[in-house]
Amino acid sequence: MVQIAQRMRRLRTLLAIRIGPGAAVLPPTVSRIHMDFAVRINQGHRGPRHFWRHMLPRLKYHNPAVPMTISRTEDQTAPATLSVWLRDSTFPPNPNPASSEAPTPTSAERLVTIDMKNKSENEILDAFLATTQGTPVYPTPEEKQLALDIEEYRAKSLKDSLRAKAVREAELREKKMLEMARGAV
């Protein structure tokens, strides 16, 4: 059975999804989000990929009702765009789109497109939050303390790992020396 302390440390690592860059609450006017970018990071697609890998999970955590779709292409020269559908607050929300294709906006929605090519993930996030008027989520004092505890544990773990590695290497050297001594006799 896994120790309870080990389980708690693993659960605490979920803290990385709750706080950090990209943790934001979007207004109810945001109906959908769609990203188009290339599979590889060459030719300006590094920022979109990092935004997708690191910041989009936090956005999805804080906004589970907003459909977020991704479309990746093999064409490195293709544009990298972030499409945001904004609706009037008087209209009810639309159901989730069934495919990963970028849907066309309805009459109650307007489409805003952000060019992500050759931009860093932070620049993309700033443009996204300015467009959607999203509110960033800041960590609570408990979450800050939890993050510090996790960092202290990682530092202690690294120190212990290096010490154990040194012990194993010393034992290996001693074993080799004994084998060499026995072979010489």
From first to last of its 185 residues, the chain has per-residue pLDDT tens of 567 677 766 766 677 788 888 899 999 999 999 999 999 888 888 999 999 999 999 999 999 999 999 999 998 888 999 999 998 765 555 554 444 455 566 667 888 999 999 999 999 999 999 999 999 989 889 888 888 888 888 888 889 999 999 999 999 999 999 998 888 76
Q: Please give the Cα distance from 80 to 72 (Å, whole number).
A: 9
Whether residues 115 and 173 fall in one domain: no
Number of domains in the chain: 2
Residue-number span of the structural domain to which 184 is assigned:
1-19+139-185
Q: The whole model's pTM is what?
A: 0.71
Which residue, chain included where needed, has tokens 């779709």? 69
Residues 15 and 27 in one domain: no
78 and 144 fall within a common domain:
no
Percent of the chain at pLDDT > 70 equals 83
- Residue-wise pLDDT for 16-62, tens only, equals 788 888 899 999 999 999 999 999 888 888 999 999 999 999 999 99
Residues 38 and 83 in one domain: yes
Same-domain check for residues 89 and 128: yes
Are residues 103 and 151 both part of a single domain? Answer: no
The Cα 106–Cα 158 span in angstroms is 53
Strand 24-25 vs strand 81-87: parallel, antiparallel, or unpaired? unpaired
